[in-house]
Amino acid sequence: MSVLTFDRHRAEITGQAGRLLSHVEGVPLTAPVPSCPGWTVAHLLRHVTGALTWAGTVVASRSAGPVPHDIVDDVEPRPADDRSTLTTGLARAAERVSGALAEAGPGTAVWSPGPLATTGFWARRMAHETAVHRADAALAAGVRYTLDDAVALDALDEWTAFAALPEAYGPRPGAPDLLGPGRTLRFEAVGTAADPLGEWLIDLTGAAPVRRRAAERAAVTVRGTPGDLLLAVYRRPVPEGVVEILGDADLFDLWRTRAGFWLEE
């Protein structure tokens, strides 16, 4: 269950997009994005715009089936790209998806690549997609990144739910199987007010992954503030020492790689 409301997610889409653009103001479009190897700021802006445009198309059309996501993957800058074109395009895409969500309303059935086929999925997913890529923009610009605890907790709750989808652990060429005896991961958000959604356990010991909110012992415990923990889970760099990894660090690294596969289809 989402920590934030549908309208809060809509507001975060435009708010995070605006802050992302403010981070890269004055930063060369050719500047590298360290957290996205091979990408420049131009690549990042094209990708976020594509993701928001894709989501907006799904919601506005009330699509009942898959919508091609070429626009999300087509990140190579064009000769005609300039700062105004890229930044205006991203801002408009954020406004459009937020507007389409408002018009459709919460709970409206639409196709999604995830476990919930409603507009709520897209509102939540795009809020977090934009928030995490804002961290990439901040890193490229060399500015400090902060994220509201409530947003970070909601994003962690979403991602740990995705990580418990059985298809995330299906057979994949060259990918080691995560399921097995003693394979458990605990995530603990600290430094914020007590919250029943601040702890998650991913249990990989059975035939299928299970997620539960519990303060149980695990093979590896990963602990940090909500924002830092979120970045670590998303394989983004965090300052040394701000996230504790207690136990089987290799299991955590392997899980981080495998848990995101559902989005790479």
Among the residue ranges 61-75, 108-122, 180-194, the one predicted with the least confidence is 180-194
User: What count of residues does the chain have?
Assistant: 265
Where residue 175 falls among pLDDT bands split at 50, 70, 90?
very low
Name 138's Cβ contacts closer than 8 Å, sequence gap at least 6: 23, 144, 145
Check residue 194 and give its pLDDT.
47
- Per-residue model confidence as pLDDT tens digits over 128-173: 999 999 999 999 999 999 999 999 999 999 999 888 876 655 555 4
pLDDT in tens, 4-52: 999 999 999 999 999 999 999 999 999 999 999 999 999 999 999 999 9
Mutual orientation of helices 41-61 and 119-141 as an angle, nearest 10°?
A: 170
Tell me how crowded residue 118 is: count the other CB atoms within 10 A of its CB: 20
Categorize the per-residue pLDDT at 257 as very low, low, confident or very high, splitting at 50, 70 and 90: confident
E-state strands within the chain: 184-189, 199-203, 210-212, 220-224, 244-247
> At a CB cut-off of 8 Å and minimum separation 6, what does 49 contact?
86, 89, 90, 93
Q: What is the pTM of this model?
A: 0.92
Model confidence pLDDT, tens digit, residues 70-121: 999 999 999 999 999 999 999 999 999 999 999 999 999 999 988 889 999 9
